[in-house]
């Protein structure tokens, strides 16, 4: 298990990505899964940076764990900001035309579609969001 | 991310290199805004684009809306991961992907 605690800012997204990628590379994670995980980090960490402590800035912890059978990586994002369950968002209507589309709401939907599992809980004053992706 | 633009009369080609995500999408949005006037054919060349997140999709959507009014837009040389993102989000129906 590896853990990084860092200020939740948009500028720090590349640092979080680099931290997770380092572990994925050690695990010989396939390129496609790694790219999908990097995208998920962009979506989830940017949400924390924008909304968790707004207008203040606060910390977030990112934790990487490995599970066997099937070989999977579990990444947990923890912040103690405003309680927010992104899984409660209504999925966007992906059949609408460009003119009818609203700008936004796609990020979490994309994560749901590309990860094998996503779970949220609010516990001890913390938002805890876990994603899981098989990398075998 | 790196943006390479090439203008040939009313045709503008924008090559995006690297990662199009939360931190880089505003830069592309600004760059498109600067150059889109008078463009009748806009081509996004994604040959060297590694990935795109929803922030990048938003830029493509707003640009597509502008081009619907003044001409046409297409996206070329899309890799497998990005194509899957276009399909999952329905962008493969909104955009012309070649």
Q: Look at B85 and A39 and tell me if their CB atoms are within 8 Å.
A: yes
The DSSP 8-state label assigned to residue B34 in this structure reads: H
Give residues 34 to 93 of B whose Cβ lies within 8 Å of A: 50-55, 57-58, 61-62, 64-65, 68, 80-81, 84-85, 88-90, 93
Contact A110 B21 (CB under 8 A): no
- CATH number for the domain harbouring residue B84: 3.30.750.24
Question: What pLDDT is attached to residue A105?
Answer: 78
Q: List, for residues B37-85, the tens digit of each pLDDT value.
A: 999 999 999 999 999 999 999 999 999 999 999 999 999 999 999 999 9
Residue B80 belongs to domain spanning: 2-94
Chain A contact for B26, CB < 8 A? no
- Domain limits, chain A: 2-134
In chain A, which residue's Cα lies nearest the Cα of B96? A98
Q: What is the rounded CA–CA span in Å between residue B18 and residue A72?
A: 26
Q: Residue range A82-105: average pLDDT?
A: 88
Give counts: helices (H), strands (E), chain A.
Answer: 3, 5
CATH class of the domain defined by A2-134: alpha beta
Q: pLDDT tens, A20-59?
A: 999 999 999 999 999 999 999 999 999 999 999 999 999 9
Chain A interface disruption, residue of B23, B29, B54, most A CBs within 10 A: B54
Which H or E element spans position A51?
none
- In this prediction the pTM is 0.95
A with B: how many residue pairs have Cβ under 8 Å apart?
69
Q: How far apart are CA A16 and CA B54, in angstroms?
A: 18
Cα–Cα distance between A77 and B13 in angstroms, integer? 38
Answer for the pair A126, A61: CB distance below 8 angstroms, yes or no: no
Q: Domains in chain B: how many in total?
A: 1
At A103 the pLDDT is 65
How does residue B9 score in pLDDT terms, banded at 50, 70 and 90?
A: very high
* Residue A15 clears pLDDT 70, i.e. is over it: yes
């Amino acid at each position: 298990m590896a853990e990084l605690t860092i200020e939740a800012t948009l500028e720090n997204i590349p640092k979080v990505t680099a931290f997770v990628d380092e572990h994925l590379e050690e695990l010989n994670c396939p390129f496609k899964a790694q790219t999908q995980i990097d995208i998920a980090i962009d979506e989830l960490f940017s949400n924390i940076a924008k909304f968790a402590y707004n207008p203040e800035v606060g910390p977030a912890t990112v934790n990487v764990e490995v599970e066997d059978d099937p070989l999977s990586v579990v990444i947990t994002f923890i912040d103690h900001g405003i309680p927010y369950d992104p899984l409660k968002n209504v999925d966007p209507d992906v059949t609408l035309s460009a003119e009818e589309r609203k700008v936004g709401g796609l990020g979490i939907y994309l994560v749901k579609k590309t990860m094998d599992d996503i779970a949220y809980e609010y516990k001890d004053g913390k938002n805890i969001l876990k994603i899981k992706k098989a990398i075998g | 991310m790196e943006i390479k633009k090439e203008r040939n009369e009313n045709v503008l080609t924008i090559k995006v290199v690297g990662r199009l995500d939360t931190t880089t999408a505003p830069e592309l949005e600004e760059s498109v805004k600067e150059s889109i006037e008078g463009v009748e054919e806009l081509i996004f060349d994604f040959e060297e684009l590694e990935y795109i997140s929803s922030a990048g999709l938003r830029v493509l959507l707003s640009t597509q809306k502008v081009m619907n009014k003044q001409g046409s837009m297409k996206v070329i040389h899309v890799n497998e991961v990005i194509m899957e993102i276009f399909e999952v989000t329905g962008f493969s129906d909104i955009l012309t992907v070649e």
